[in-house]
Amino acid sequence: MTLVRNAAIVVAIAALSASAAHAHHSGAMYDSGKLMKMTGTVKAFNWNNPHISIDVIANPGEAVDGLWSIAGSSPGVMGRSGWTSATLKPGDKIVMEFNPLRDGGRGGNIKKVITPDGKELGWGF
């Protein structure tokens, strides 16, 4: 009986953990009905778990100005979409399409990036 009870506890903990992880990766904070585009300079490319991010300074004169932090998925998922930890580096000039944050903050979710060599990479919720 103890073995069955312990197994039930392990299964319950695993189920709760999976549920919490899924909730963390919700795309609800992004406005998927709105697509923004910017040209800018990479300030930082963060290849980290639980998701990658790109800090981009929009070019002067862009409709979006200043520093933006645009998120993607996990390095594993991004890797399967053609990304690597060396895809971008500070100083790179890129074109980016993204779904902005619903709250109007300077952030969003990657839809497409055109790298300095013209390669198009995408991913999104």
Query: What does the block give as tokens for 89?
Result: 């580096």
**Whether 57 contacts 43, CB under 8 Å:** yes
Q: Is the pTM of this model over 0.95?
A: no
Per-chain mean pLDDT for the chain:
84
pLDDT tens digits for 5-39? 555 454 445 554 443 444 455 778 999 999 999 99
In this structure, what are the phi and psi dihedrals at residue 78, rounded to the nearest 5 degrees?
-65, -40
CA–CA distance, 67 with 74 (Å, rounded to integer): 22
| Annotation: CATH topology of 36-122 | OB fold (Dihydrolipoamide Acetyltransferase, E2P) (2.40.50)
pLDDT at 77 over 60: yes
pLDDT band with cut points at 50, 70 and 90 for residue 65: confident
Q: Domain boundaries in the chain?
A: 36-122
Residues 75-81: contacts with CB under 8 Å, at least 24 apart: 75/47, 75/48, 75/49, 77/123, 78/52, 78/123, 81/121, 81/122, 81/123
